[in-house]
């Protein structure tokens, strides 16, 4: 797109002194990048080369109604508390797939319609309408839809304040995935979108992000307080590879029947479901991130041989572990998270 002198004149007149200083720094150091951001199109579709990701694998297959806004991943001022690096409102196709790690940015992701899966540091989280994810993308993560109606908003944030806010929101076992009011995220997204212009007010944007993050902090606190200390102890034992309900009950000095009943009442699922889920998550992570033989993976997650692991993958992914490793992410997920509160035992 050719740059007209009239466009540049209007741009310079609209700049404040700090923004002029910022401009001249970039015109010297990052000329090409600055021109890209200044005159970028407001709709960028199926152009993964323009994503601000550093070590990633992705297939950005979107419907035509999607909107994406990408920025330089740099702060306009050295002490900026919060600043926007990118945002998007996207309608995905079933083949959409993003895998990232070592990406120094924080993601606020909100599912508007349909369902998807977010795998974060080896743990899988189901995404459904009304679900918000708050995650640091420097950790290995994967995002993909599990139906053909997956629609979401995403806001990527950085700045001097974001790490402390994130640490507080996720400390002491608080979840990175939580229910969240749709009107709050859409209001923030709309205001941020209205602010996009060559003379954007970075401090107004920081204020909007701060309000949104305050809401997220409140939601994380509400969610954390819903589980009792006993349930946290059960989860801790599952994560530490305690592989049977009887063994968990013995370690906590409860009868298996009482413990299962109480766990089902508080979590909506069974202990056995969570044990199976944890095994599956561990196996998926090791298959996708290591070259370990299937026999070694089976032993790591508590199976004496590969028979149990093969049965697990045939039941929940309709394939063997090796086929899962080879075909990922071509196959659509049939993970048990698609029915996280189902009463049917998983074996």
- 286 — phi, psi (to 5°)? -70, -35
* pLDDT the model gives residue 34: 35
Q: pLDDT: is 240 or 221 the higher one? A: 240
> Could you give the C-alpha distances from 16 to 23, 199, 202, 230, in angstroms and in order?
10, 8, 12, 57
* pLDDT the model gives residue 201: 66
Task: Please provide the average confidence, as pLDDT, over all residues in the chain.
Answer: 73
Tell me the pLDDT tens digit for each residue of 109-132. Answer: 999 998 889 989 888 888 988 899
Q: pLDDT: is 342 or 304 the higher one? A: 304
Q: pLDDT: is 115 or 266 the higher one? A: 115
Find the mean pLDDT for residues 255-276.
84
Across 19-33, 52-66, 144-158, 191-205, which has the greatest mean pLDDT? Answer: 144-158
What are the percentages of helix, strand and coil residues in the chain, rounded to 5?
45, 20, 35
Domain range 42-224, its CATH number among 2.102.10.10, 2.170.130.10, 2.40.110.10, 2.60.120.280: 2.60.120.280
Across 70-79, 137-146, 208-217, which has the greatest mean pLDDT? Answer: 137-146
DSSP 100-141: EES---EEEEEEEESEEEEEETTEEEEEETTEEEEEETTS-E
* pLDDT the model gives residue 43: 32
- Give the containing element (helix H, strand E) for 52: none
Q: In whole angstroms, what is the distance from residue 93 CA to residue 65 CA?
A: 12
Tell me the pLDDT tens digit for each residue of 32-83. Answer: 333 333 333 333 333 333 333 344 555 666 777 888 776 544 544 555 677 8
**Superfamily of structural domain 229-338:** Homeodomain-like (1.10.10.60)
Q: In whole angstroms, what is the distance from residue 269 CA to residue 312 CA?
A: 18
Task: Kindly tell me if the per-residue pLDDT of 315 is higher than 60.
Answer: yes
Q: pLDDT: is 280 or 23 the higher one? A: 280
CB 208 within 8 A of CB 201: no
Q: In whole angstroms, what is the distance from residue 176 CA to residue 132 CA?
A: 8
Q: How confident is the model at residue 250 (pLDDT cuts 50, 70, 90)?
A: very high
Break the chain into its structural domains and give their ranges.
Answer: 1-39, 42-224, 229-338
* pLDDT the model gives residue 40: 31
Hey, is 302 helix, strand or coil? coil
Q: How confident is the model at residue 107 (pLDDT cuts 50, 70, 90)?
A: very high
- Give the containing element (helix H, strand E) for 207: helix 202-224
């Amino acid at each position: 797109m050719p740059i007209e002198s009239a466009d540049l004149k209007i741009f310079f007149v609209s700049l404040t002194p700090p923004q002029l200083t910022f401009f001249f720094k970039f015109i010297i150091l990052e000329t090409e990048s600055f021109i890209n951001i200044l005159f970028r199109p407001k709709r960028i579709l199926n152009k993964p080369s323009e994503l601000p990701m550093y070590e990633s694998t992705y297939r950005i297959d979107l419907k035509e109604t999607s909107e994406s806004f990408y920025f330089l991943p740099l702060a306009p001022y050295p002490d900026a508390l919060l600043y926007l690096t990118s945002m998007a409102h996207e309608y995905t196709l079933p083949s959409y797939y993003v895998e990232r790690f070592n990406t120094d940015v924080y993601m606020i992701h909100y599912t508007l319609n349909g369902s998807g899966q977010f795998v974060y540091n080896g743990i899988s989280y189901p995404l459904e309408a009304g679900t918000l994810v708050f995650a640091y993308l420097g950790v290995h993560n994967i995002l993909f839809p599990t139906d053909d109606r997956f629609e979401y908003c995403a806001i990527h944030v950085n700045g001097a304040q974001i790490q402390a806010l994130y640490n507080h929101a996720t400390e002491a076992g608080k979840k990175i995935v939580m229910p969240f009011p749709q009107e709050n995220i859409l209001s923030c997204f709309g205001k941020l979108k209205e602010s996009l212009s060559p003379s954007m007010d970075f401090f107004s944007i920081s204020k909007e992000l701060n309000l949104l993050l305050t809401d997220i902090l409140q939601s994380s606190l509400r969610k954390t307080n819903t589980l009792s200390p006993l349930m946290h102890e059960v989860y801790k034992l599952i994560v530490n590879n305690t592989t049977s309900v009887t063994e968990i009950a013995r370690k906590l000095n409860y009868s298996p029947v009482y413990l299962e009943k109480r766990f089902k009442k508080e979590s909506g699922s069974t202990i056995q479901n969570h044990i199976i889920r944890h095994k599956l998550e561990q196996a998926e992570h090791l298959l996708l991130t290591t070259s370990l033989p299937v026999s070694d993976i089976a032993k790591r997650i508590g199976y004496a041989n590969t028979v149990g692991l093969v049965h697990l993958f045939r039941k929940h992914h309709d394939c063997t572990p090796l086929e899962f490793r080879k075909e990922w992410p071509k196959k659509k997920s049939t993970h048990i998270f698609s029915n996280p509160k189902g009463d049917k035992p998983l074996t």
